[in-house]
Amino acid sequence: MTSLNTLISSLSIILYLSSLISPTSSFPYTLQLSHNSPKSHDIISYVAKSTLHRAHHIKHYSKNPSSDLFTPLFARSAGDYSISLSIGTPPQNIPAFFDTGSSLVWVPCTSQYTCNNCTKTDTKITTFKPHRSSSKKHINCHNTKCQWLDQPDDTVSCRNCNRSLAGDCIRPCFYDQAYGAGDTSGIAIFETLNFQTNSIPGFFVGCSLMSDLMPEGIVGFGRNPMSLPNQLKLTQFSYCLVSHKFDDTSKSSNLILGNSGVVTGVSYTPLLKNPSMLPFSGYYYVQLEQITINDKIVKIPHKILNTDSSGNGGTIVDSGSTLTSLAPSLFGPVANEYIAQMAPGQRNRVVIGELSLGNMVCVKGAGEKGMVIPEVGFQFKGGVKIELTVGNYFNGGSGLLCLPFVNVTFEVGLTGSGPAVILGNYQQQNLYVEYDLKNERFGFKKQVC
């Protein structure tokens, strides 16, 4: 990123120094989620690899590279979901990925935004234009909220800036954020976040100038202070994910920011906190107790389902992962029991590691007459259970129907750190999913989205 400093300098000229505006909060609203398409033959490879890379990032983090609010939530062809952010004055609408596994909210910024290693289809990137907004406000590196970014490499430069300049340091609040599939760099600013019924001034947002493999921004819904739920002081948010068809469909469902009232039939399990340092403290942990195949409990090492003194192990919920990642000591027993539960004459239909993708479980001809697919369930603390339906499987092409699980060690090659289970969005399809932050519980129920 040799030209990053040049881009940052040009942006700094555009931005101006001002006092911090504290965002108002404690309101409820509704956005919409939409879903992001590789060709059928490539889907299984693309989704598996993207899930593995994301699992690698989550498990092996690197710091370097109240009226309800309803917003549309769209399924995307890349296997994730997006919303449209309305930022600035006058408002500019910018699409961004919805992610409960990270906390920074950032958007591609300025006409000079560069996305390295992005495909030809990513050339029409919608970027935020700060110079067109009257509500943009510069953040210098001494601002306490700049510390949210946890960028220790920039601390010395900020101290030197303080010594070399009279008065306030004008060095911007830089960030370099790494993700499983790429990274992004830019400057944090305060801006106005707009909704249909109200606006939130002084919202902390990343203005990215350069990214790698990250054509669109990300709306972080994690547990760290800079996430959207924490900045808006939400007590709850919920969503219902429309089914993946791996196309950029216009069909959407609602992402509800705030408490929309009593929803009947919801099963709850406690939301747990990992006391370890970043990034684990920013994830939503739940207590997975059992995995069942046709109601038979799979024999797995239960120790790995709990976090240890270093913060490793346990289960997190991540809307940014397409598939569910399982540690090898969990995946092996699940795959073996799945095969054992197939009818004897149909066990040869099970394929593991199809297309050299590593350990994935797929079934050939699953839709044929007479084929019976075993039922898979995840049981959590409190006795609540998420059961996979055929709709939670995905079509891998070539007549394959695949479980939404992947072995995290394939291609990653590392074990022993981070969550043991990462519940991806494929397993959350057609579920009403609720994050009750006030009562620290995670809820869900079957629902057609």
DSSP string, 82-116: EEEEEETTTTEEEEEEEETT---EEEEBSTT-EEE
Catalytic (active site) residue 318: yes
With vertex at residue 261, the alpha carbon angle to CA 255 and CA 264, rounded to the nearest 5 degrees, is 95
Contact, 188 vs 149, CB < 8 A?
yes
Q: What CA–CA distance (Å, rounded) separates 153 from 413?
A: 28
Q: Which residues have CB under 8 Å from 175's CB, separation 6+?
A: 104, 106, 149, 151, 185, 186, 187, 188, 206
User: Which residue out of 68, 183, 318, 436 is catalytically annotated?
Assistant: 318
Contacts of 214 (CB under 8 A, 6+ apart): 115, 118, 179, 181, 182, 183, 184, 208
Is the separation of the CB atoms in 307 and 351 below 8 Å?
Answer: no
Residues 183 and 176 sit within 8 Å (Cβ to Cβ): yes
Strands 350-352, 324-326: parallel, antiparallel or unpaired by DSSP?
unpaired
- Residue 308, judged by CB atoms within 10 A of its CB (0-12, 13-18, 19+), counts as exposed
Active site residue 295: no
Q: Which two tokens stand for residue 73?
A: 């939530």
H or E element in which residue 362 lies:
strand 361-364
Contact 298, 288 (CB under 8 A): no
Check 68, 99, 183, 436 and give the catalytic one.
Answer: 99
CA distances (Å), origin 200, targets 127, 135, 361, 363 = 20, 11, 46, 49
Q: How many helices (H) and strands (E) does the chain have?
A: 5, 29
For 67, the token pair is 């009226």
Residue 209 is inside which H or E element, if any?
Answer: strand 199-212
Residues marked as catalytic: 99, 318
